[in-house]
Amino acid sequence: MVGAHGSAPASPGTNIRNTIWTVILSQIFLFMGIQGSGKGTQAARLSEKLGIPHVSTGDLFRDHIRRQTPLGKEVKRILDSGELVPDDLTSQMLRERIGQEDAQKGFILDGYPRTRPQAHHLEDALRGRNDAICAVFFFDLPEEEAVARIEPRRVCTTNTAHIYHLKFNPPRSDMVCDHDGAPLMQRDDDKPEAIRKRVGEYIQQTIPVVEDYEERGLVHHVDAMQSIDDVTRQMLDIIEGLSC
């Protein structure tokens, strides 16, 4: 993971596999894998154990929208129109977040980058702080298991922050929110056909990024079929053996 780097910044259209940095200074971890593989759960756990922030683009969007920042207003306009937030706007938010004091010793990126252009934005941001990726954790999970984990998810029709799982965290009354008595619903994104579509998009767009990181010796595969505690133990064992 340690090597010389004297080339010019890579352009978004080029491959990142030959981008190697001189030193690794911080605990910078990327958590990658299909939806439902447990990235967010483990990011929250390891964030607490390692004392570094858990950073996800979804949280960044929601935070900026809540604070009504100029970036947040632009993101809200884009999302309300049904469009995807462009990489350069996401990159601006990411640079701002990892520039904060609590991220100087490292951070966990949950589900980012998803594409090679996003990977280049990340490399540029890390170059700006003379840093590099310490390790990439890829959560191995079969597609059908992802469907089985996500399909039972239900959300409150009044407050979508009230989330249930019909198997692991069911409401006390059938299809009724415990907090406000509102009916629950299944989001379109949680339906099997939508999950499979996102898995297909992930394979097409993100697996090439993972392969690039594989060639740089950064990827550690995690068996996401294990229990939550076993996954955490596996990851902490891997981290203990790293040099960053």
| DSSP-based three-state secondary structure for 153 | strand
CA atoms within 13 A on the CB side of 218: 29
CB 136 within 8 A of CB 32: yes
Selected catalytic residue, list 17, 95, 114, 196: 114
Residue 187 annotated to the active site? yes
Lookup: tokens for 20: 């190697």
Our measurement of the distance from residue 165's CA atom to the centroid of its chain's CA atoms, rounded to an integer in Å, reads 21
φ/ψ of 219, rounded to 5, equals: -90, 135
From 66, 77, 167, 187, active-site residue: 187
**For the chain, where are the E strands, in sequence order?**
27-32, 54-56, 106-110, 135-140, 153-156, 163-165, 184-185, 219-223
114 in active site: yes
Q: Which residues contact 217 (CB under 8 A, 6 or more apart)?
A: 1
Active-site residue, selected from the candidate residues 45, 153, 154, 216: 153
**N- to C-terminal Cα distance for the chain?**
10
Q: Is 153 a catalytic residue?
A: yes
Tell me the catalytic residues: 39, 114, 153, 187, 198
